[in-house]
Each structure stands twice: as C-alpha cells, then as structure tokens.
C-alpha cells in the first residue's frame, strides 16, 4: 500500500524521524574535514535533508540562532528563523504563504538538483523585526545521500536603508517639485495673481516639511530610537483632516475620499502623528488602487473592551499573490522606490500604538484595511 501523503499547499509535508536526523548528523559530525570547513564559513550554513530538515549547522548558525544544535535538528529553515507562518499547516514550506517565499523556492530548486540564490523577506512575531535575507541553496550528493547546503546572509539593514532612502527621495522630490512649480509661477505672474499663488505655496511647503519629518520618524522607529508622545486626539477631526490632505494629494486627483457618517465623536489618547501616518498610508494606497472617478470611504467604530477600529475601504480587490506579501518590508506593486506603505502601517501600529493592522480583500465587497487601537496608548 502506498504511503498516505500529508496535505500541503506547496512543498511536501513529510518529515524524517528525529532518530534518522540524528544519524544523518552523526555521519557529518564524524567527518572532521567537513566540520572544519563549515565552521570556517563566516555566515550561517545549514545542511538540510531531502525533507528540508536541518541535520547539521555550522558554529555561526548555532550561535546566531541561539537555540543550540539540539534545538535545530529536524526543523526546517523557516522554523529555526521564527517565520510567522512556520507553525501553520504542516510547517515551513507547506502553507500558501510559502509559495512566494524565497527560502522555500530556493530549497525546492536545490532538492530538484539545481543550485539557486534568492532574496527573501521573513515575517516574524512582533516585536521582533522582520528579516530580509539573501539565501543560497546548493544540492550535494555524498555516498548516495542527497542533501542541500543552505547558506544565509542577513541583508535587513541594507534593504531597510535603501528602502527608506528611496521612499524619502520619492516623496520629498514630489513635494519639492510642487513648491518649485509654484515659486516659478509666482515669479512669472502679475502682482495681483501672485497673492493667490503665495497662499497655495504655504501648504505645499508645509507638506514638504511633513514628508521630511515623517521619514525621519520612520527611520527612528526602525532603529528603536523613536520616543512617542501621546496626546488627546478627536477621532472625527483626525479622519476628516487626514482624508482632506489625501484627497488634495497627487494620488487623489479625480478621485473622492468620503468620511462615512457615524464616526464616534470620542477622543483617544495616542501618538497623533504616527496614527495619522498609518491612516494616511491606508487612504493613499486605496486611492492609488482605483481609477479616476472612484470613491474611497473612511470610517471608525467603537468596539468593546475600550478599543476603536479605524478603516478605509475601496472597491478594487487585490490579487492573491499581493495579499500573501502585503505587510512585508520592501514588497511593492508600484515600481522601484516604493514599498514601505503597508509595512510601515504594521510597524507603527504594533510597535508604538499598541494596535493591530489587518485587511480583507474579497470579490463583491472590495478591500478594507483596519487599524484597531486602544482608547489610551500605554507607552
């Protein structure tokens, strides 16, 4: 009778027993040359069996992962690196999220006999920062035993710096372009017309300053050097102001932002600038997803337990492959230089607002992003 295969969304779910994994480990451990070679490597190196389980790790991997060799044996790469989805289904490689994972795809390629290198973003449990990795998966055969040599380099700092720089220059150049355009018009206009243009120049310059401050704050949040200052914040006024600013932004041209009736008139105690940043990103993303003439709706509700949820809705449904990667740093559907929008929402909400960001995107109802936060942020 053929063995019953475990269900999976992507790669095989079957595993070798821990006893078999230990036998594989002992085989490599007995080879002093192999051990010395692996321990001399400056980066994390894992040896994976045909079921993608760790049966050997070099000294760098054992030290950086901090769980000891016994804590690594038999586990898969996503499980030893704390992937948010590694405890779902039948573990690393078996969930729908794994179909877009560079680790799973790289190892799968090596299992098929071909070396591969990929960049990978791994979401981990808050408050730990997500990981950006460069991984190499190389197939090997030795005395009839097939295995994968899996090497890892953490490129999180490099990716974070580049993403922050690109986002900063993108947003600031847009705002600076508006200021420069108005200044040029003022210089070429009659005195009677320049008064109105000067009136437009002030909010454009204020927006430029806001972009600079926002990027500074985001960089400080990423590095753990941001110290928020909670203030009393009327919900209705915050939503109306943020919606108005987004509607006046370039992405709002030809589109409408509506604050739905029924928003509580309550005030909450929170970090106003960070909450505004989260809601603003939600609205701008919704506007960018819609054609001219579309309507984006904004609202808020009071929940039980002293919680409030603020939401943004737009008619378009996100493709499934986008939904699977939506909160990953640097993931973007908007071309080079973008990709911090949804990631920064999650980062700011969970690390500094004691909140949670979630979304649904379903045919017939469209896409809705929500942030749920307490009435008072305990910082």
293/57 Cα distance (integer angstroms): 57
Q: Could you give the 3-state DSSP secondary structure of residue 69?
A: helix
Q: How far, CA to CA in Å, does 315 sit from each of 214, 248, 284, 361, 362?
A: 28, 20, 14, 9, 9
pLDDT of amino acid 165: 67
CA-nearest of 90, 51, 43, 93 to 74 is 51
pLDDT of amino acid 166: 64
Domains 18-154 and 157-227 share a fold: no
pLDDT of amino acid 350: 80
The DSSP result for 3-44, as a single string, is: PPPPP-SSS------HHHHHHHHHHHHT-HHHHHHHHT-SSE
* Helix (H), strand (E), coil (C) string for 321-355: HHHCCCCCCCCCCCCCCCCCHHHHHHHHHHHHCCC
CA-nearest of 169, 371, 132, 148 to 274 is 371
CB-based contact 286:297 (threshold 8 Å): no
pLDDT of amino acid 337: 40
pLDDT of amino acid 127: 66
Residue showing tokens 């200044």: 183
Classify residue 74 by its DSSP letter.
T
For domain 18-154, say whether CATH 3.30.450.20 is its number.
yes
Match domain 229-379 to its CATH number in 3.30.565.10, 3.40.640.10, 3.40.50.300, 3.40.50.970: 3.30.565.10
Looking at the structure, give the CATH architecture of the domain made up of residues 157-227.
Orthogonal Bundle (1.10)
72/62 Cα distance (integer angstroms): 8
Domain boundaries, the chain: 18-154, 157-227, 229-379
Q: In what order do the strands lie in the sheet with 54-57?
A: 54-57, 44-48, 145-154, 131-142, 116-122
pLDDT of amino acid 228: 65
Q: Which residues of the chain have pLDDT under 50?
A: 1-2, 335-339, 379
Q: What is the pLDDT of residues 354-365, one digit of tens each?
A: 899 999 999 989
pLDDT of amino acid 221: 67
């Amino acid at each position: 009778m053929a063995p019953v295969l475990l269900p999976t969304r992507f790669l095989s779910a079957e595993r070798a027993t821990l006893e078999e994994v230990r036998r594989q480990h002992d085989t490599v451990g007995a080879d002093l040359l192999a051990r010395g070679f692996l321990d001399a490597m400056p980066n994390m190196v894992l040896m994976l069996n045909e079921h993608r389980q760790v049966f050997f790790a070099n000294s760098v991997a054992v030290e950086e992962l901090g769980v000891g060799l016994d804590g690594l044996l038999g586990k898969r790469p996503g499980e030893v690196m704390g992937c948010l989805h590694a405890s779902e289904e039948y573990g690393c490689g078996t969930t729908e999220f794994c179909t877009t994972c560079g680790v799973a795809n790289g190892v799968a390629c090596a299992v098929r006999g071909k070396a591969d290198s990929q960049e990978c973003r791994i979401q981990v449990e808050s408050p730990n920062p997500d990981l950006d990795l460069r991984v190499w998966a190389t197939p090997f055969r030795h005395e009839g035993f097939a295995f994968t040599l899996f090497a890892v380099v953490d490129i999180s700092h490099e990716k974070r710096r580049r993403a922050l720089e690109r986002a900063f220059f993108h947003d600031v150049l847009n705002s600076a372009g508006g200021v420069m355009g108005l200044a040029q018009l003022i210089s070429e206009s009659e005195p009677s017309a320049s008064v109105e243009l000067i009136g437009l120049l002030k909010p454009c310059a204020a927006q430029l300053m806001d972009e600079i401050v926002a990027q500074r704050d985001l960089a400080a949040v990423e590095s753990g050097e941001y110290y928020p200052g909670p203030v009393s914040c009327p919900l209705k006024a915050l939503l109306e102001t943020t919606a108005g600013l987004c509607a006046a932004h370039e992405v709002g041209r030809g589109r409408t932002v509506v604050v739905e009736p029924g928003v509580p008139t309550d005030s909450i105690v929170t970090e106003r600038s960070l909450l505004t940043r989260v809601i603003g990103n939600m609205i701008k993303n919704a506007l960018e997803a819609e054609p001219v003439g579309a309507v984006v709706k904004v609202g808020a509700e009071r929940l039980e337990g002293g919680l409030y949820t603020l939401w943004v809705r737009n008619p378009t449904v996100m493709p499934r492959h986008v939904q699977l990667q939506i909160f990953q740093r640097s993931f973007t559907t908007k071309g080079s230089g973008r990709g911090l929008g949804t990631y920064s929402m999650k980062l700011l909400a969970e690390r500094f607002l004691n909140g949670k960001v979630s979304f649904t995107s379903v045919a017939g109802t469209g896409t809705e992003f929500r942030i749920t936060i307490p009435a008072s942020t305990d910082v």
